């Protein structure tokens, strides 16, 4: 089952990069907030249909959840909005690497301190080096993007 979940997540990453690119392009015509709204409206319709046919939970339990847990919806919306804003300016790969780096940093902190009732996994040198290498990768990708965009502009002049 672990391999299947890794493959599902890998596919999710592929779709996220495609979505980032498409949303970045659409936002130039429709606007950033409008593109983000379209994504959430479409997602809402898709999930409503999915819940009707396959749902096994209790959607009304949302009203019984602690208020701090409801912040996850805002955080997801903020992530998508910031991604839609970033892609046209810094490109898909720099946006995604920055997002992944942010996820890793907060993930290490959540694991290390056991926040949100998570499993406690101490920050060790391996994890610290992994974070460092992601930040270094982000730096080189961003610098490469800036160089490529300057070369493209120079070719068009």
- Whether the CB-CB separation of 94 and 82 falls below 8 Å is answered with no
Q: What is the pTM of this model?
A: 0.75
Domain housing 125:
2-156
| 45's tokens | 């319709």
Residue range 93-148, pLDDT digits in tens: 889 889 988 998 999 999 999 999 889 999 999 999 999 998 999 899 888 877 76
Please count the structural domains in the chain.
1
pLDDT digits (tens, 9 = 90+) for 56-105: 999 899 999 998 899 998 998 999 999 999 999 888 888 988 998 899 89
CA distance 27 to 85: 8
Nearest to 82 by CA among 127, 28, 24, 29: 24
């Amino acid at each position: 089952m672990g391999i299947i979940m890794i493959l599902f997540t890998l596919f999710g990453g592929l779709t996220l990069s495609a979505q980032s690119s498409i949303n970045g392009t659409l936002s130039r015509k429709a606007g950033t907030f409008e593109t983000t709204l379209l994504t959430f409206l479409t997602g809402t319709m898709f999930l409503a249909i999915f819940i009707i046919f396959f749902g096994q939970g209790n959607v009304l339990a949302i009203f019984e959840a602690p208020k701090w847990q409801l912040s996850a919806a805002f955080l997801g919306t903020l992530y998508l909005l910031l991604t839609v804003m970033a892609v046209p300016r810094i490109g898909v790969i720099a946006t995604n690497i920055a997002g992944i780096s942010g996820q890793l940093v907060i993930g290490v902190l959540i694991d290390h301190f056991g926040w949100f009732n998570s499993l406690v996994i101490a920050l060790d040198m391996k994890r610290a080096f992994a974070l460092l290498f992601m930040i270094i990768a982000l730096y080189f990708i961003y610098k490469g993007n800036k160089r490529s965009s300057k070369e493209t502009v120079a070719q068009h002049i």
